[in-house]
Amino acid sequence: MFENSYQLANPDIVFEQFGDDLVVLNLRSGQYFGFNNVGALVWSALSSGVKASSLIEAGVQPQDLEKFLSSLVSNELLVAQAPLDIQLAQEVRIQLAGASEVPTIEVYDDLADLIMADPIHDVDAETGWPNRPDA
């Protein structure tokens, strides 16, 4: 697990940083994910191909990383790939070394129906978007 690099599980995983907040969206499931600051740093490193072991070397506790990484994989956000020779940025290494929190992820599915709706075909003819027709 820790010697692997990781990549996005599929092209339907999109993410955006909004100031200090990172939002990851799985367009296939309609779920979106929020991360704390350390989780956002770890996500950024892992999704760019940095080996998980590099994060442990930077100060992330193995049990915390294992739990976080398992959640990323089980939520179909990342998949393992052969190890790449991508180095952890020094700035990220310093931030992780000084962090006192563990990486966390929050899963939200309250908008899944809306996110997965087809805005052309899944629209009520009378009321329009974002109202779906009665089935």
The confidence score (pLDDT) of residue 81 equals 96
Given a cut of 60, whether residue 121 has pLDDT beyond it is no
Predicted confidence (pLDDT) per residue in 59-93, tens digit: 999 999 999 999 999 999 999 999 999 999 999 99
Q: Whole-prediction pTM value?
A: 0.82
The full set of domain ranges for the chain reads 5-111
Residue % of the chain over a pLDDT of 90: 70
At residue 129 the predicted structure's pLDDT band, cuts being 50, 70 and 90, is low
pLDDT at 122: 62
- Residues whose CB falls within 8 Å of the CB of residue 49, separated by 6 or more in sequence, listed in order: 5, 6, 7, 81, 84, 86
When the pLDDT of each residue in the chain is averaged and rounded to a whole number, the result is 88
Asked whether the predicted pLDDT for residue 26 surpasses 60, the reply is yes
CATH topology (fold) of 5-111: Outer Surface Protein A; domain 3 (3.90.930)
